[in-house]
Structure 1
Amino acid sequence: MKNLLKKLTSVCSPSGFEDELCQVIKTEITPYADEIKVDKLGNLHAIKNGSDNNITIMLAAHMDEIGVIVTDIEEGGYARFTRLGYIYGINLVASRLIFTNGAIGMININEKDTKVDKDLRNAYIDFGVPHKDDCPVKVGDVACFFGPSVELTNSRYMAKSIDDRIGCAIQIELLKRLKKTPHNIHVVFTTQEEFSGVGARTSAYKITPDIAIAIDIMLSGDMPESKNNPVSLGKGPVIKVKDIGTLIHLGVKNWLIDTAIANDIPYQLGISDDYTDAMTMQSTKAGSAVGQICIPCRHIHTPAEIIDLTDAEHAVNLLVTMLSNDVPENLR
């Protein structure tokens, strides 16, 4: 999975600009799906037909990453910008960016300032050009963080956009390893989760799943001064019970936990104040029974997110085991 994650995180794919990553993933999964579709919003649907057509299960991992969008070009060739998805100001100064057109720049703030304003109005992008006419981008162009992926240890990995390329990698591996299922499985690589969640919302509306599971990341609690968060890297995927927009379905929660225990798959339970595609899937149309499987991650929404790849491997094993077998009676 390490090489796959490196390939996925190397792509710049901010919200609304997921086409390049979509093509990379499509190439990876084509031999393993019964049907593949890309819808009008750019969501990539991979379908595995089951032997029992009674249950439809949707999985969702988002292809987009946080980024910036240019709002103005100033004299000297500097670009002003705003968020595309939520970026913390503290992480911006001296960060490198790469635009979807290949242009590279770095972020700084006005000389008299000591921190980035909440609205980012004192931050700018420097391309090293002498004049406004030499600026390589225009209003509306988008960029993401730029930097190398780094293998820190045998299992610890650092890169930009691990949120949510690790979820995409898990779903790719699931498609490769899931040989047979009694269910109709819709594995969806969604768009614009960081911006509005519209990709998961429209996909769930189209699929009308009985059960929907979001595959994403969750802030790890094993950092200095972290409080009220027992989640750690390397102790298994997180079955996220609650976040700002979702309470997971009790039946799905028990299915996840019971499967993990029965198959000696390590797992953790977690609660967070962020959100995933589960929020929109749960409330679309008549609703669905939702769950969340999240990979513990340090330094979320920075150019240097860190995970333990063993947590992702356990997540794949959990999903393959679950989806190879019948769902519990209370979810039928």
Structure 2
Amino acid sequence: MFDLIKRLTDSFGVSGNEEGIREAIINEIKNDIQVINVDALGNLFAIKRGKGKKIMVAAHMDEIGVMATYIDENGFIRFSNVGGVSQFVSVGQKVRFKNGTIGAVFYEDKLEDMKSLKLSKMYIDIGAKDKKEAEKSVRIGDVACFVGDAVRQGNMVISKAIDDRSGCAVLIKAIKDLPETDNEIYFVFTVQEELGLRGAKTAAYQLNPDFAIALDVTATGDTPEANLMEVKCGNGPAIKIKDRSVICHPEVKKLLEESANRINVPYQFEVLEFGGSDPGAIHISGGGIPTGAISIPCRYLHSPVEAASLQDIENAAKLLVEAIK
């Protein structure tokens, strides 16, 4: 599982620019699935045909990043966020543009109080001597992801873009491990989740499935002085009850709980008091779609050092296969 996650997190896929990660996923599944399609927005559909229940299984493949908005005469690049980028987490980090150009993120020297730090007071240094040289590598509108190579430490994986390449890894593993079933299953790798669940909305509208299950990460309550929360890394995948975008359908929640009990997979319940994820868009598409979610506990969300348990990810894949087979 670690090697798969490393290949996925190494791939470039800032929201709205998912071509690289989409191609990486296609290479992983092309020999294991009947049909592969890409829609107009960029969602990737891997389809297992059948005559039973029509099931949508989703994980978003995009990651947060930054976009170049202005290049000054000295070659320093001003930028805006693409998704939920923290100015404090970004300081001193490296970013990589789609063409491979690496830059250092820092803030204006005149800043007197770090509490007043804003992205508008920060810049990217790509080592250019002036604007003309910088423009040879970066143009206005170019996007960059954060640099954070995947490493394994004990049973934990630490990397950028665990949100949600870990969920994509679960879908890939499920595609490979799924036994014969009459159900018609649409594995959907969605785009632009970090910008407002956009890909999931269009995908669910197209498919109108009998029910849906989404895979994503969730916050934890197991770090020093963390906000009180039941979810902990290493205690199993979490079955979502609610976040700010969705209250999960009780029958899908029941299905996931019963599936976990059947195969003795440890699990937790997730009540997330902030944020939203793809189920928030899926469940209100069309005339409404019963939707649930399996969440992977993850520390340090939206940073280059997101950390998750490899065992939790493996168990999430087992749980998903049991629920949809």
- Equivalent residue of 2:195, what SS? coil
Deviations 1:179-223 (A, max 9, x none): 212211000000000012111111111100111111000011100
Query: Is structure 2 residue 298 aligned with structure 1 residue 297?
Result: yes
Rounded to whole Å, the distance in 2 between the matches of 1:269 and 1:238 is: 5
Aligned to 2:221: 221
Amino acid at match of 2:290: A
Q: Percent identity?
A: 40
Shift of 1:249: 0.2
Residue ranges of structure 1 left out of the alignment (5+ in a row): 325-332
Rounded to whole Å, the distance in 1 between the matches of 2:262 and 2:186 is: 25
Rounded to whole Å, the distance in 2 between the matches of 1:288 and 1:212 is: 7
Rounded to whole Å, the distance in 2 between the matches of 1:250 and 1:118 is: 43
4+ residue runs over 3 A deviation: 116-119
The residue correspondences of 1:171-210 to structure 2 (distance < 5 A) are: 171-210=171-210
Shift of 1:54: 4.2
Shift of 1:117: 5.0
Equivalent pair of 1:109/1:116 in contact (CA under 8 Å): no
Amino acid at match of 1:133: K
Residue ranges of structure 2 left out of the alignment (5+ in a row): none
Equivalent pair of 1:89/1:117 in contact (CA under 8 Å): no
Amino acid at match of 1:2: F
- Equivalent residue of 1:228, what SS? coil
Cα distance change, pair 78–116 in 1 and its aligned pair in 2 (3 A): farther
Rounded to whole Å, the distance in 1 between the matches of 2:179 and 2:53 is: 17
Shift of 1:31: 1.4
- Equivalent residue of 1:32, what SS? coil
Deviations 1:211-256 (A, max 9, x none): 1111000011100111320111111000110001100000011111
Name the TM-score, length of structure 1 as normaliser.
0.94
Rounded to whole Å, the distance in 2 between the matches of 1:254 and 1:3 is: 32
- Equivalent residue of 1:31, what SS? coil
- Equivalent residue of 2:157, what SS? strand
The residue correspondences of 1:1-332 to structure 2 (distance < 5 A) are: 1-50=1-50, 53-113=51-111, 114-115=113-114, 117=116, 119-135=118-134, 136-153=137-154, 155-272=155-272, 273-324=274-325
- Equivalent residue of 2:30, what SS? helix
Rounded to whole Å, the distance in 1 between the matches of 2:149 and 2:259 is: 37
Rounded to whole Å, the distance in 2 between the matches of 1:117 and 1:247 is: 36
Superposition CA RMSD, Å: 1.1
Shift of 1:69: 0.5
- Equivalent residue of 2:47, what SS? strand
More deviation, 27-36/137-146: 27-36
